[in-house]
Amino acid sequence: MKNKNNLLHNLSKTILLSIGKTKLNYQVHEPIISKSAETHLLRCIKSNYVSSVGEYLKKFENKLKDITGSKYVVLTNSGTAALFISLKQLEVEKCEVLTPSMTFAATSNAIVYNDAIPHYIDSMKSNPCIDVDKLALYLSEVCTMKKNFCYNKVSKRRIKALIVVHAFGYTAEMTKLIKLCNKYNIKILEDAAGALGSYYKNKHVGTFSDFGILSFNGNKIVTTGMGGAILMKRYKDYKVVKHLISTARLEHAYETEHDRVGYNLRMSNINAALGYSQLLSFKSTLKKKKILCEKYISNIQEIELCNFIIENNFSKQNNWVNNVIIKDKYINMRNDIFNYLHSKGIKCRAAWKPQHLLKMNLNYPKMKTDNCVKLWKSIISLPSSYI
């Protein structure tokens, strides 16, 4: 018992030492709102442009283009909306869309909103991103090609797309995934919701495929309150997506005309002003987050209970959320660890419950997903903001 208490005490001490705080209720990620936010928000309010037009929308969009290198960016009112519209443009209706089971519900939900079928795939053993070798083997068993389209042999449905989730800002293995998807003629949509500032082989994630999405929800590395963005390569996608999220309204000086059923999923100028103020100091945010990550790495090496998830050598991640994995021999202490840390004001969190285990998703197709179930039971997301 003493040993158990010592292990718990050492972990909590190490976390507090790394974040350099003893304040209570330390969340996994808190908004990083600088003084300049007030200036830009006030300027926005005074301009009277507080809705779907205004200078900050363009400013925020341009800054995102600089950071990501994306040719086209469309701002939305959430990451979920960005996923929904990207999948709509990929025309996945009635088809299967491969998605990691280890993701936030929004990824899987956006497939269902499009009247398509999520098909769950597994993560790596020690990282929540897709296990590409396992996926390659699975596709070779479950798929058949007809007229250059990929079909699920069992359900007979077309497998049209794969959502690659750059989970927690870690980068998925894009080179291998692109090669695999080219082989099966499967389109890729990158869910980089939490990965602004993460680069795979020096290229920003979310820009490897025709569509990538970002989220600016309150817990993200940059927040607009709520918000999202779609990163695109092609002008024709940009035009349609922009039109679709703006109620499909045609431009006219005084008439109100729409040419299809559109959606109102735009970001507001106020939200963009808040996001823009954070992008002005984004480089420094990334630096500070890297320092915190390095502190965790060096301190957690001494810890008996768990291992730190280290970035792959081909990627430069944003260090949005730092995670540890409880060692196998201590896995039965999982709830004790969470309860102890919470009692000390360290509001660490478990990883997402795998999507295939949620009751609304039980009947969707899936591969053997043992890695992601194990990760769910062993990942602890640590306090990761530096404020």
Ligand X SMILES: Cc1ncc(COP(=O)(O)O)c(C=O)c1O
**Pick from 26, 104, 151, 170: which binds ligand X (CB under 6 A)?**
104
The full length of the chain comes to: 387
Q: How far is the CB of 103 from ligand X (least distance, A)?
A: 5
Binding flag, residue 191, ligand X (CB under 6 A): yes
Binding flag, residue 217, ligand X (CB under 6 A): yes
Helix (H) or strand (E) holding 188: strand 187-191
**Pick from 68, 70, 78, 207: which binds ligand X (CB under 6 A)?**
78
Binding flag, residue 89, ligand X (CB under 6 A): no
Q: How far is the CB of 270 from ligand X (least distance, A)?
A: 16
Q: How far is the CB of 265 from ligand X (least distance, A)?
A: 11
**Strand 306-308 to 323-326 pairing:** antiparallel
Candidate segments 21-29, 46-54, 73-81, 126-134, binder of ligand X by CB under 6 A: 73-81
* Contact flags string 218-247 toward ligand X, x per CB under 6 A: ----------x-------------------
Q: Which two tokens stand for residue 239?
A: 């035009």
Between residues 54 and 212, which has the closer beta carbon with respect to ligand X? 212
Q: Are 341 and 312 in contact (CB under 8 A)?
A: no
Between residues 214 and 341, which has the closer beta carbon with respect to ligand X? 214
* Contact flags string 142-181 toward ligand X, x per CB under 6 A: -----------------------x----------------
Contacts 24+ apart (CB under 8 A), 89-93: 89/211, 89/237, 89/240, 89/241, 89/244, 90/160, 90/161, 90/187, 90/189, 90/210, 90/211, 91/160, 92/116, 92/160, 92/161
Q: Sheet containing 203-204: give its strands across.
A: 203-204, 199-200, 315-316
Between residues 165 and 324, which has the closer beta carbon with respect to ligand X? 165
Between residues 177 and 193, which has the closer beta carbon with respect to ligand X? 193
**Pick from 198, 215, 268, 315: which binds ligand X (CB under 6 A)?**
215
CB atoms inside a 10 Å sphere around CB 98 = 27
Candidate segments 187-195, 301-309, 312-320, 324-332, binder of ligand X by CB under 6 A: 187-195
CA dist., res. 156 & res. 181, Å (int): 19
Q: 153: Cβ–Cβ under 8 A, 6 or more apart, which residues? A: 142, 143, 144
Q: Which two tokens stand for residue 339?
A: 């309860």
Q: Which two tokens stand for residue 185?
A: 């003629």
Q: Which residues bind ligand X (CB under 6 A)?
A: 78-80, 103-104, 106-107, 165, 191, 193-194, 215, 217, 228
